[in-house]
Amino acid sequence: MSIDLQERLPVNGSLDLAARLRFLGAFLREPITVGSVWPSSPALAELILDKCDVPSRRLVAELGPGTGAFTGPILERISNPSRFLAVEISTHNVRELRRRFPGLELYRGSAAALPTYVRRPGEPNAKADCIISGLAWGNMRPETQATILNAIVCSLAPNGVFTTFAYAHARWFPTSRRFRRRLLATFARVETTPVLWRNLPPAYVYRCWQAGGR
């Protein structure tokens, strides 16, 4: 669906303690998929959306929204007649997202299928000009990293921006180093922010631009 400013999707408040504990439970059940014991902080949401210029984007996609730490701020910034979609693989998180953001264009599935979700009847060549990711890249196998990153590149418009984050403690993990190398080899420009300590765990953000971007 496209977001109409006159009928904006409701945002049902911030995460309460029960929701945060459900997030912890999801991590304990699916540590490889969830990747963190606690939802991302508002400070990380601000950092990851900085330079995304969401209000000017025609199509914004979010991968791995979890329980919606970035989804709410994206909805607050999105403008008419932009389209915003989210892709989440966890059944528990999908349930929480639908509770918090009724009417959100939400797909339960793998981020590897992003090109399918971006396209829709009448828009076979649709591309996202902003893709925001909360995926646990450091937990992925190399082939999974490659498959999802390829889906992102195929779905991102020229001049588009892809932004994601990584945890500071995992910076030197082999999977994290491999992911950074993939970013540098794939995008025309890659920017890394300083570590944000006001997050659990501390994290930093990658901002990546397609060829021809800023």
Evaluate whether residue 29 is within a structural domain.
no
203 three-class SS: strand
User: Which residues partner with 61 through β-bridges?
Assistant: 85, 131
**Contacts with 83 (C-beta within 8 Å, 6 or more apart), sequence order:** 1, 2, 3, 58, 59, 60, 105
Evaluate whether residue 146 is within a structural domain.
yes
Evaluate whether residue 2 is within a structural domain.
no
Distance CA 115, CA 128 (A): 9
Q: What does the pLDDT read at residue 5?
A: 33
Q: Which domain holds residue 100?
A: 38-209
**Contacts with 140 (C-beta within 8 Å, 6 or more apart), sequence order:** 148, 175, 179
Distance CA 40, CA 62 (A): 14
Q: What does the pLDDT read at residue 116?
A: 96
Q: What does the pLDDT read at residue 214?
A: 52
Evaluate whether residue 28 is within a structural domain.
no
Q: What does the pLDDT read at residue 143?
A: 95
13 three-class SS: coil
CATH number at residue 96: 3.40.50.150
- Sequential pLDDT tens for the chain (214 residues): 333 333 344 445 455 545 544 544 444 445 444 444 457 899 999 999 999 999 999 999 999 999 999 999 999 999 988 999 999 999 999 999 999 999 999 999 999 999 999 998 889 899 999 999 999 998 899 999 999 999 999 999 999 999 999 999 999 999 999 999 999 999 999 999 999 999 989 999 999 999 865 5
The kind and range of the H/E element at 3 are none
- Residue 5, class by beta-carbon neighbours within 10 Å (0-12 exposed, 13-18 middle, 19+ buried)? exposed
CA distances from 44 to 41, 70, 152, 178, 180 (A): 5, 9, 21, 23, 19
Distance CA 120, CA 25 (A): 34
Q: What does the pLDDT read at residue 29?
A: 47
CA distances from 126 to 95, 109, 120, 121, 123 (A): 27, 19, 8, 10, 5
Evaluate whether residue 131 is within a structural domain.
yes
Neighbours of 80 (CB within 10 A): 12
Q: How many domains are there within the chain?
A: 1
32 within 8 A of 58, measured Cβ to Cβ: no
Evaluate whether residue 25 is within a structural domain.
no
70 within 8 A of 103, measured Cβ to Cβ: no
Evaluate whether residue 10 is within a structural domain.
no
Evaluate whether residue 24 is within a structural domain.
no
Helices (H), the chain: 17-29, 31-34, 42-49, 71-77, 91-100, 114-118, 142-155, 174-186
